[in-house]
């Protein structure tokens, strides 16, 4: 951020993806005369959509973006393996990527499409938004399936396994096509004149792409939440906007560490993990992905939590 005062934030686009919503949490919309503007009153950050998670890593590594926002894990279906594989960085393309923050987004999936073509004839008077019941269809047809005319469904792979019950009950007949994001799915459906496609996406995407909400809250589990990480490049001075801090609780420091262990050495992983305990680090998650060395060799990802008090005592 040396020459220009506007920080660039890369997120998984297009607009209205859940990653966009995460980016808005961390970098809220700028308004005049707040500390989200610099002295010249220009916005301090610009959110820039990227087509893939890989492109976000590349933008942060090259310095084109000062920060990146990437999905990391979901409370229903676990780790986002695309992101883990980029952190594993088996080809050494992203050596300077660091994690400097996190944010959580409640993920309420909707079925988006054009009501006229698929379920308008079966709409039951609602406005199409926000049913109270889990997996509630906005339109219901006596004895029939209101979504029968939907032939193709678009969404991000993570979304399919967060909505299994709704899909099994209502859309088992439809062909599924993976998209790089849920908002891209909505964009594709908006551009399909046949009206026989639908997207699993957000209510925000319905507004942005002019689609109808055919069903809402269709995720399997109440409280479905995705955790996103904020990336920056090591050595950069890119700062996160100031966040409120609860002074009653000492700040928590989280770290994400990636490592491999010698293959075929008994106890090698246990020895690595014991180090964290010895230094008062609370191990909060452990993940693995295939490593580059050979079959059944792994990269490990460990997250630790440390309170400020322990940091002072720690010998790191």
Q: Site residues (CB under 6 A) for ligand PPY?
A: 12, 17-19, 71, 74, 107, 156, 158-159, 181-183, 226
We find the least distance from the C-beta atom of residue 200 to ligand PPY, in angstroms, to be 8
We find the least distance from the C-beta atom of residue 13 to ligand PPY, in angstroms, to be 9
What burial class does residue 241 get, using C-beta atoms within 10 Å of its C-beta: 0-12 exposed, 13-18 middle, 19+ buried?
middle
Residue whose CB is less far from ligand PPY, 58 or 163: 163
Name every residue whose Cβ is closer than 8 Å to that of residue 98 and which is 6 or more positions away in sequence.
Answer: 231, 232, 233, 234
What burial class does residue 159 get, using C-beta atoms within 10 Å of its C-beta: 0-12 exposed, 13-18 middle, 19+ buried?
buried
Residue whose CB is less far from ligand PPY, 71 or 128: 71
Q: Taking Cα atoms as reference points, which of 229, 255, 292 lies closest to residue 93?
A: 292
Q: Answer for the pair 218, 171: CB distance below 8 angstroms, yes or no.
A: no
Residue whose CB is less far from ligand PPY, 12 or 302: 12
Name every residue whose Cβ is closer than 8 Å to that of residue 120 and which is 6 or more positions away in sequence.
Answer: 139
We find the least distance from the C-beta atom of residue 11 to ligand PPY, in angstroms, to be 8
Residue whose CB is less far from ligand PPY, 38 or 54: 54
We find the least distance from the C-beta atom of residue 185 to ligand PPY, in angstroms, to be 8
Q: What are phi and psi of 22, to 5 degrees?
A: -65, -40
We find the least distance from the C-beta atom of residue 162 to ligand PPY, in angstroms, to be 6
Residue whose CB is less far from ligand PPY, 50 or 122: 50
């Amino acid at each position: 951020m040396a020459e220009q005062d506007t920080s660039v934030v890369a997120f998984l686009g297009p607009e209205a993806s859940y990653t966009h919503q995460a980016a808005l949490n961390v970098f809220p919309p700028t308004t005049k005369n707040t500390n989200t503007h610099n002295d010249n009153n220009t916005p301090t950050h610009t959110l820039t959509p990227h087509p893939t998670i890989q492109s976000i890593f590349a933008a942060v590594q090259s310095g084109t973006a000062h920060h990146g926002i990437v999905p990391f894990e979901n409370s229903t279906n676990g780790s986002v393996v695309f992101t883990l594989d980029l952190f594993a960085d088996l080809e050494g393309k992203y050596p300077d990527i660091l994690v400097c923050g996190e944010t959580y987004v409640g993920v309420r999936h909707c079925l988006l499409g054009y009501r006229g073509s698929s379920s308008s004839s079966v709409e039951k008077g609602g406005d199409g938004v926000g049913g109270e019941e889990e997996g509630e269809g906005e339109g219901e047809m006596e004895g029939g399936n209101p979504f029968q005319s939907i032939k193709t469904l678009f969404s991000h792979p993570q979304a399919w396994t967060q909505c299994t019950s709704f899909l099994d009950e209502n859309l088992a007949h439809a062909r599924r096509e993976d998209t790089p994001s849920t908002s891209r799915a909505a964009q594709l459906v908006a551009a399909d004149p046949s009206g026989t496609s639908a997207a699993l996406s957000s209510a925000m995407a319905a507004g942005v792409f002019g689609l109808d909400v055919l069903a809402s809250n269709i995720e399997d589990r109440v409280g479905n939440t995705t955790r996103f990480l904020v990336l920056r490049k090591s050595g950069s001075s890119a700062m996160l906007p100031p966040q409120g801090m609860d002074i009653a609780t000492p700040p928590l420091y989280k770290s994400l560490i990636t490592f491999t262990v010698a293959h075929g050495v008994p106890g090698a992983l246990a020895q690595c993990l014991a180090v964290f305990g010895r230094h008062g680090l609370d191990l909060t998650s452990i993940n693995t992905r295939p490593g580059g060395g050979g079959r059944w060799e792994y990269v490990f990802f460990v997250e630790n939590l440390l309170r400020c008090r322990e940091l002072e005592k720690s010998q790191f």
